[in-house]
Structure 1
């Protein structure tokens, strides 16, 4: 049973490394992103006054 669990974990690790090499996921070889360098949105812009937005009428 432990051999089966080990094989499943090894297979999952190899699959995730393959997906990482193709750019689909970050698994082991790519480090964490620097979140301070990511673009941010201010809360004010998310909660903008609805009167300033164009009104869609059906």
Structure 2
């Protein structure tokens, strides 16, 4: 019984490690942002038209 738990935990760790390495490889190729690159500075992102519409409460449609 305890050996099954150990094998299961080892399999889970191996899958998580493999998934992390896959995501790091995709990040290195520029396909996504995983954990090596920092977060986006959301204050530097320009507002879209829809964001500006909702932010301005005095504006009517």
When the two structures are superposed, what TM-score results if normalisation uses the length of structure 1? 0.70
Structure 1 residue ranges (4+ consecutive) displaced by more than 3 angstroms after TM superposition: none
Aligned length: 45
RMSD: 1.4
Task: Give structure 1 stretches of 5+ with no counterpart.
Answer: 50-58
- Structure 1 residue 27: deviation in Å? 0.7
Instruction: Report the structure, 1 or 2, having the larger helix content.
Output: 2
Unaligned stretches of 5+ residues in structure 2 = 1-7, 55-60
2:14 aligns to what? 7
